[in-house]
Amino acid sequence: MQGYLDNLKMGVENFKSSKSVDVSNKDKVDSDEEGQGGGGGDGDDKPGWKEWLYLAIIALTGISYNSQKYSLPYAFGYHSDDPLQMNNPFFQISVEYPELATYYPLLSGFAVLLPQAFVGIYTGVLTDKVNRVRLLAAATILWSSSTLLAGEIDNFWVFSGMRVLFGVAVSCANAPGLSLIRDYFSKDYRTFANSINSFSMYGGYFFSSLSIVFINLFGWRNDYDLTGFLGIILGIVTLLVLQEPERGRFDSPKQKLTKLEENAGQ
């Protein structure tokens, strides 16, 4: 009887020991998953100078978009008491295009926001299927070209069409930009990276306000030409410098498996 009790006690102790090992192994696996895919911030998860350079370029595309978006309101609102500039179409876009007195509310908001909203619905899907760097670069070149052409043409309706084209182009920028940031930075750095990218909106406001100074010196068309030309250069730099990262680079193995199963089910 005593031998039976001793064997039973030994079996219980062995069972407890095996459970302790299982729990320890499970914790180790979970820890490995976080370290490999969760962006733990150690080792390879820490961004290098290239990632910060890529972020700066993405933020500059946002500054370009926002500064060009508000180029029309600042140009339309420009007014000078200088006799040489008063009622001069070289300086005052409202004199160049008297139709703006009627259509300005549509061109300043509706003509940009409506195509941006509708096309933006499909941009997220497109971002998952194409090269994101090329998409962002193409969008930057397209909206900057529309601004450049708006400064060159002499037809109000073509000018209006360029505003619509601008709205279509900028709708293709936000999704690929955010997606690239997600794969450039692990979760420990991603929030900070996104906050820097968000600053581009205010940077765009700042540079668009400087257009008043530029218009006063060189006229509204040259202001459009300069911002459009710089945006095209930025789009080319985006295409040549940015690298397409692995999608889901910082996802855990479990997250990657889930995505594979979802893709297989489609």
Closest to 54 in 3D by CA, of 232, 246, 242: 242
Tens-digit pLDDT string for the chain (266 aa): 445 445 445 554 554 454 444 444 444 444 444 444 444 434 458 899 999 999 999 999 999 999 999 999 999 989 888 888 888 999 999 999 999 999 999 999 899 999 998 998 899 899 999 999 999 999 999 999 999 999 999 999 999 999 999 999 999 999 999 999 999 999 999 999 999 999 999 999 999 999 999 999 999 999 999 999 999 999 999 999 999 999 888 876 666 656 555 556 55
Closest to 256 in 3D by CA, of 193, 183, 207: 183
Q: What share of the chain is helix, strand, coil (3-state, %, to 5)?
A: 80, 0, 20
| CB burial string 115-147: b at 16+ within 10 A, e below | bbeebbeebeeebeeeebbebbbbbbbbbbbbb
- Chain centroid to CA 177: 3
Alpha helices in 38-155 (DSSP H): 49-69, 71-77, 93-96, 100-105, 111-127, 132-152
Angle between helices 211-218 and 220-241 in degrees, nearest 10: 120
pTM equals 0.79
Residue in the block written with tokens 């972020």? 55
Task: Name the 3-class secondary structure at 171.
Answer: coil
Q: Can you list the domains of the chain with their CATH numbers?
A: 58-242 (1.20.1250.20)
Task: Name the 3-class secondary structure at 176.
Answer: helix
CA 47 to CA 260: how far, in whole Å? Answer: 26
